[in-house]
Every structure is written in C-alpha cells, then in structure tokens.
Amino acid sequence: MLHVWLRAQHSPLAVWHDETKNWQSIDGWQQLYDTYHKSKSSHHSLYLYVPSSQLLHVETELSNAQLKQLGSTGKQYLFEETSLTAVDKLEVRQTGHAHVQHLYALAQSDIEIWQQSAALVGMTVSAVVPDFLLLPVPEQAVAQQVVLYQDHYTFLLRQSQQQGMAVNYLPLILERLPHLSEAVTLPAIFASEHSATSRIDLQQPSAYEPEQTQIISETAALLAEQQVVLTPLKATPTPIDSPERHPLNFFVKTSDAQLSPYLRMAMAVALAALLLQVAADGLQIYRYNSAAAATKAAVTSQYQAWFPNETLNTSRTKLQVQMQPKLQSAKTTSASHMTMLGQISPLIKQSSLHAQALVMTPDMLSFTLIAPDRSSLDQFTSTLMSQGIAANLERVNSSEQGQFSGQVTIKVTDDTSINLAAS
C-alpha cells in the first residue's frame, strides 16, 4: 500500500518508502502510475495525506452524547460560520479527549476530485487523512510545545494527538498559544523540489535553496520575538499506522455516500406529491365508475318504466341504436304534452297552489301540488275535469305546517291534444 502526500492542491506528490524511511518526489498522478502501477502490480491502492489547509476545524465542549443527538446534519451546521462551501456538502469527522471534542470537515467536492485523480490512472484511494498527522505528537503538555514542519508548499503545526492545522499566518497562531514555550521543527523532506532523494539537516542551512533558507529564517525570527525556544529535530514526517481506521479518515465509499438533506427532502416531497396524485386519480376513477354504475342502473330502471315489455341492452353502441327509434317516435307525442302543460300552467298560477316534481311519461303527466287545505286540491281537480282534462287526485298528505300535498295525474292522448286545441 502506497502512502502518498499531497502537500498543496497543485504540488508534486511525495511517496513514502518504508525501506529507506524517506520520501520520493513524483511530479504528478501520471508519473505515479508509470512508476508504481506498471512496475508493481500490487500497488493499486494508496493512502492519501491531503493538505490541512483545506481542513476546517471546530473545537466544542459538547459531549459525545450531545454530538450524537445533533447527528451528521447538526455537526455540519457547526461549520456554517467558517465554511465557504454549503454545509450539507461537508464531510465531518470527530475526535477528542476529556471534555473537549474536535470536529474537522472537508468539502465533499475536494475528496471526490482526489479520488477521481487517482481513478484516472487506475488507482484507488483507501484512506484520506489530513497531513498534520504525519508530524510527531508533542511530548509536553498541550499548548506548551508544538511541532512545526515547513517547506515551499506547506507549513504545518501539530499541538496534540487530536489537534493540528496548516499555518497561514504564524503571528496569529502564536497569539492563540500564549503559554507556548517550545517549538520543535522538522527538516523539509526535500532540499530542493527538483531533487527527489536529498535530505536536509536544519543545522546546515547552507544546504537549503535560498528560498527555503529565507522561510526558515523568518520563522525562527518570529519564534525568537515570542521567546519560544526553537528545537530542531532530526526526524521526518512519517505515515501513521492503519490510516483507514483513523477517526479522521475522510474517505467515503461510493456505495456509502449519502444524499444531502436538501435532496432527500426534495425527493420526499416529490414522492409525496406523486402518491397524492395517484391517490387523487384513483379516487376520481372510483367515483367515475360509481357514477357510471348508478347511471346505468337509473337508465335501465327508467327504460323499464317506459317500455316494460322490452329488455334494455346496456352496451353503449347498442343502447343508442335501441333508444333512437323511441326518441324519434316521442317527437310526435311531445306536442300533446306541451299543449297539456300550456293548458294547466295558467290554472295553477291563478290558484293559490304550488306545483313541483313534474313527471312525464308517453301517455301521462304527473305532478305534486302544495295547497293550504284539502278543499283547494279538490277544487283544482274539479276545475281540470270541467275543462275536459282527465285528471285524478291521488296520495293526499298533510304536513306539520298545516299544508296539504297531493299528486295529480293527467292522462295524455292524441285525442286530448286535439280537444284542447279546439277548445
């Protein structure tokens, strides 16, 4: 398994050699493939140490139980004030001791870019960890001693087992560490970025390139101003054991990748809308079928009332064929009904009666009359009969309001219409 160190976003790669205990400079991913993937078929996977400058850090006094209650989404929102990336696009990892918890976050897009870069040359990433873990842990108490590493591409600081960072502006870091008394410095892994095997001793600054020497001199001057003892250490940043099991491993398998909360919510809303639409369509279909069944039953019942000696065919096409002759023949009888209604309507308006529920059949008219008393119904029926209308009063009922209702049935024939017209 290869240990690969990416010190900055566009820096050369550094590959660790266990046999010689040093780093080899590789220009890029393609050279890494040419050097290791082709020559040694077993080197298909790697552990990637990524720039701590890409790392976000939050220190909190919340307990493990409280952080567990927050969940992954709640932890992401702890970085809302410091992250330029949308918080739901962060991968968060947690480590801590005693009553202090340290939360670190990396942008998912950065992790994906590093994984894709390796995949393009046929290699897979098994762990993604911040590069401050390459530095040894300070021996003294927290905030009294730190370990520094500095070269052309990066400047790292480690405070404890759980805490480290990339240094962007050293004076500001020193202000945050007022009890700092000693800074242990490690030599750069390469004397020159163009030399893959050279090693640097901090006690021999003449071996450095001019730019590297200036960097170290400026750092030493800043530490001296703060009365911090500068202790060179003849050691080199060293890979950690089992990076894939480290709490700060940011590697996420594709199958384990989770959708963002916003996307999950949008999918849930879309699914709910779909289910609601399906339910509405189902209810509409059910109501349509119920109405169709009720209409079919009503049509059958009405047809049997009109034509008791005939059987109704409920097929839509055959129903139209069967009803068409009946409708055409009904045109000859409609004049009789209309003449009868024209004769009856003025009589009803002249009386104190109210008509309702008119029913027409081929040979009969039937309607309900509402009257204040029974004698009014009998008088109206007598009036109809006196004008030659065959009327019959049936089913007379009284209501709680003192009114009477009765059904008047009138027989309609062609002869009736002729007699009415003549009169």
Q: Residue 135: which residues within 8 A CB-CB, separation 6 or more?
A: 147, 149, 156, 157, 158, 164, 186, 237
Query: pLDDT tens digits for 51-61?
Result: 999 999 999 98
Distance CA 353, CA 216 (A): 115
Supply the pLDDT for residue 167: 93
> DSSP alpha helices (H): ranges in 121-229?
170-176, 210-225
Distance CA 60, CA 75 (A): 11
Supply the pLDDT for residue 75: 93
Supply the pLDDT for residue 205: 44
Supply the pLDDT for residue 191: 64
Contact 369, 381 (CB under 8 A): no
Angle formed by the axes of helices 261-306 and 316-350, to 10°? 70
Distance CA 315, CA 319 (A): 6
Residue 110: what residue type?
A: D
Supply the pLDDT for residue 196: 37
Residue numbers of the chain with a pLDDT score lower than 50? 194-208, 255-257, 329-330, 332-333, 416-422
Q: Kindly report the number of other CB atoms within 10 A of residue 196's CB atom.
A: 16
Distance CA 117, CA 27 (A): 14
Q: Kindly report the number of other CB atoms within 10 A of residue 382's CB atom.
A: 12
Contact 111, 93 (CB under 8 A): no
Distance CA 96, CA 106 (A): 17
